[in-house]
């Protein structure tokens, strides 16, 4: 996404790239906090979220100025609107990573997870770490193949998420009710991170190809009723 449709969009594209890198770092950091009780990583994610929020506001302000001055039409206009929505998606991903970090900070030096849940959350984190790296590549290179990979792979995260519920109801489960609450919320935050990555990918596909992702069925289907 080095150049979107003209030079006036360059600053917006740069801020979106910056947001994607912040979100990647926040996802990695939240994972460190969650799976390794890394308090510094947790605090960095928590403190860093303000910059991501500020970048989202910056993108919105720049898009408004750009709409006002350039009066883009047709595809160019839809790219601006998609950029506005992409900024909102990244902002939300920053919030979700922060929530994970806050949970890890609260239980430090203990893990919020009972031992039998750690491997499953590590798998979800490994998935999100790959997704986070892909997000940055996708945006920097406007690479729709990477976007399609993110979209296609999200079912794997949903399946891991479902398995946390099964674990919590199995004889293997040893956790307290506080740990079950945290497992449910953490799983939800991670699943939503995956959903938002899919949403971001659809917007990038749209920006690059002109296809309208808002006509796709909404994400966030089904996982929470299983």
Using CA atoms, how far residue 224 sits from 31, 120, 158, 159, 165, in Å, is: 22, 17, 9, 11, 10
The single residue among 8, 14, 17, 95 that binds its own copies, judged by CB under 8 A, is 95
The single residue among 17, 51, 102, 153 that binds its own copies, judged by CB under 8 A, is 102
Shortest separation between residue 145's beta carbon and its own copies, angstroms = 26
Site membership for its own copies, residue 99 (CB under 8 A)? yes
- Scan residues 158-177 and list those touching its own copies (CB under 8 A): 165, 168-169, 173, 176-177
Residues 12/79, Cβ–Cβ less than 8 Å = no
Measured over the CA atoms of residue 126, residue 34, residue 103 and residue 92, the dihedral's sign is negative
Using CA atoms, how far residue 46 sits from 8, 25, 144, in Å, is: 32, 11, 31
The region of 33-41, 70-78, 155-163, 201-209 touching its own copies under the rule CB under 8 A is 70-78
Measured over the CA atoms of residue 16, residue 151, residue 207 and residue 192, the dihedral's sign is negative
Site membership for its own copies, residue 116 (CB under 8 A)? no
Residues 151/201, Cβ–Cβ less than 8 Å = yes
What is the C-alpha radius of gyration for the chain, rounded to an integer number of angstroms?
18
Site membership for its own copies, residue 24 (CB under 8 A)? no
Question: Which residues make up the interface to its own copies (CB under 8 A)?
Answer: 53, 56-57, 60, 63-64, 67-68, 71, 73-74, 77-78, 81, 84-85, 88, 91, 95, 99, 102-103, 106, 165, 168-169, 173, 176-178, 180-181, 184-185, 188-189, 214-215, 218, 220, 222, 224-225
């Amino acid at each position: 996404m080095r150049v979107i449709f003209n030079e006036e969009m360059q600053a917006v594209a740069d801020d979106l790239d910056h947001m994607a890198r912040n979100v990647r770092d926040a996802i990695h950091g939240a994972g460190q906090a969650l799976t390794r009780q890394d308090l510094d990583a947790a605090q960095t994610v928590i403190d860093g979220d303000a910059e991501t929020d500020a970048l989202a506001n910056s993108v919105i302000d720049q898009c408004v100025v750009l709409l006002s001055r350039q009066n883009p039409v047709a595809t160019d206009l839809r790219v601006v609107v998609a950029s506005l929505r992409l900024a909102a998606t990244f902002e939300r991903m920053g919030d979700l990573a922060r929530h994970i970090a806050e949970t890890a900070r609260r239980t430090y030096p203990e893990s919020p997870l009972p031992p039998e849940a750690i491997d499953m959350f590590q798998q979800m984190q490994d998935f999100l770490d790959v997704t986070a790296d892909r997000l940055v590549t996708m945006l920097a290179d406007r690479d729709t193949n990477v976007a399609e990979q993110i979209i296609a792979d999200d079912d794997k995260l949903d399946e891991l998420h479902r398995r946390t519920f099964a674990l919590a109801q199995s004889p293997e489960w040893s956790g307290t009710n506080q740990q079950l609450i945290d497992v449910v919320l953490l799983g939800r935050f991670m699943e939503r991170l995956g959903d938002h990555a899919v949403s971001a990918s659809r917007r990038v596909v749209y920006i690059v190809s002109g296809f309208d992702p808002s006509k796709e069925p909404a994400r966030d289907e089904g996982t929470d009723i299983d």
